[in-house]
Amino acid sequence: MSLPEGEFKIVCVKSGLEVQEGESGWTLAPPHDDATGKCPDVKTFSCKHVDDGQYVLLNKASEKTLFLREGAMALERVDDATADADALWRIESVDEEFNILEFFYPSEVIATIEGHAPFDKPRGEGEHGPRQLQAGGVAEGGAPELAPEYDLLDDAGHWKFVPVNQLKAAKYTIQSAANATVALQCHCKDPTPALAELDGSAKRFKWRLTPLGNGYYTIFNKSNKKGLHGGSEETESGSKPSVARKDASERAQQWKIIPHAFDDGCYHICCRSNFLALDGGRKGEVGTSVMLKDFSPDEPSHKWIISLCAENAENSCASDAESDEEANPLPDPAAAE
């Protein structure tokens, strides 16, 4: 399986144009600005894996499935197309590098799309033969082309599948899914990431997430001006994460944020360098030290709620926004009396 199941927008690699479904079929449209919010439904496609690298492609807006009928693309609304050979499209990744997080969980994948291309059955001929979807030479407003000759290396037939549920660059709180009243905090007086009772106005609870592509982010604390660090490839399960001067090129500071399979707004957070997940404990108790553990999508302690900060106006990535630690990250008990 080259592509994990999920919802994606589909982008022509060569032109940067995005697939959009209209009344008459697929067309190529200008790129959607991810910073403006949710991807439009006409550009959102559900990819369901059926068998042996073959998928059914369903548009979210029309709820129509893409078919290859008699050598031409067709859109039809059906309850279940998984048993129809005309609805099966082989999606073959052109990236040979294997990464366990990118293989099993939604990521950007560059792949080819080919219809009537089973591995375990003889391929048809003529109008019933295989067709590769290509758009490298297609202008805006045009429709993708169907080529009878398959070429894995020709970038005219390369498509980027981009998950539509990625988080935009902004400030967030990272709360325990077991107890949403506590959240991940870090500050200059105690740089060890831990759980504490959430104070939405305090910078120590605010983390700026910056997308790096392919589902990875840097996670930057607004109080101590440091990036969350997951350790090296040799880091063992049961270790604690730390913070360090932000370096987006360091794999230990690149975090895969994986949407939970069932609960909207919930995520798993895994370090790229070692595939270990942030673990906040099953009860989400105040004072719990966050750990790095072997990732399991079914483990409740690996589930986090990531929520936009209320004001979310201070999202500058300018260097001066990261230069100085917060002078007084914790409230003065005397001042509170």
pLDDT value at residue 27: 96
- Residues 6 or more apart whose CB falls under 8 angstroms from that of 1 comprise 49, 53, 103
Q: How confident is the model at residue 5 (pLDDT cuts 50, 70, 90)?
A: confident
pLDDT value at residue 128: 79
SS3 labels along 158-220: CEEEEECCCCCCEEEEEEECCCCCEEEEEECCEEEEEEEECCCCCHHHCEEEEEEECCEEEEE
Q: Of 163, 184, 212, which one is at a domain's C-terminal end?
A: 163
Task: Give the model confidence (pLDDT) of 225-258 as tens digits.
Answer: 999 999 999 999 999 999 999 999 999 999 999 9
How many domains in the chain? 2
Q: Are residues 185 and 140 in the same domain?
A: no
- On whether residue 84 sits in a domain, the answer given is yes
Q: Are residues 48 and 156 in the same domain?
A: yes
Domain that holds residue 128: 6-163
Q: Are residues 175 and 297 in the same domain?
A: yes
Residue 72 and residue 208: Cα distance in Å, rounded?
46
Q: Of 128, 148, 163, which one is at a domain's C-terminal end?
A: 163
Q: Are residues 227 and 137 in the same domain?
A: no
Q: How confident is the model at residue 334 (pLDDT cuts 50, 70, 90)?
A: very low
Q: How confident is the model at residue 165 (pLDDT cuts 50, 70, 90)?
A: confident
Q: Are residues 101 and 19 in the same domain?
A: yes
pLDDT value at residue 32: 81
Q: Are residues 202 and 138 in the same domain?
A: no
Q: Which has more confidence, 335 or 109?
A: 109
- On whether residue 304 sits in a domain, the answer given is yes
Q: Which has more confidence, 250 or 101?
A: 250
* 51 closest CA partner among 12, 98, 84: 84
- On whether residue 332 sits in a domain, the answer given is no
Lowest mean pLDDT among 119-128, 211-220, 318-327: 318-327
Q: Are residues 158 and 14 in the same domain?
A: yes
Residue 171 and residue 293: Cα distance in Å, rounded?
25
Q: Are residues 179 and 145 in the same domain?
A: no
- On whether residue 334 sits in a domain, the answer given is no
C-beta separation of 31 from 41 below 8 A = no
Residue 185 and residue 290: Cα distance in Å, rounded?
10
Residue 102 has pLDDT above 80, yes or no: no
Provide mean pLDDT across the span 182-196. 91
Q: Are residues 150 and 221 in the same domain?
A: no
- On whether residue 336 sits in a domain, the answer given is no
Q: Are residues 204 and 141 in the same domain?
A: no
- On whether residue 52 sits in a domain, the answer given is yes
- Residues 6 or more apart whose CB falls under 8 angstroms from that of 319 comprise none
Strand partners for 73: 68
pLDDT value at residue 315: 45
Lowest mean pLDDT among 27-36, 147-156, 161-170, 274-283: 27-36
CATH number at residue 279: 2.80.10.50
Two structure tokens written together for 123 = 């391929």
Q: Are residues 13 and 96 in the same domain?
A: yes
Q: Are residues 305 and 258 in the same domain?
A: yes
- On whether residue 188 sits in a domain, the answer given is yes
- On whether residue 90 sits in a domain, the answer given is yes
pLDDT value at residue 319: 39
Q: How confident is the model at residue 184 (pLDDT cuts 50, 70, 90)?
A: very high
Q: Of 106, 133, 163, which one is at a domain's C-terminal end?
A: 163
* 206 closest CA partner among 190, 221, 189: 221
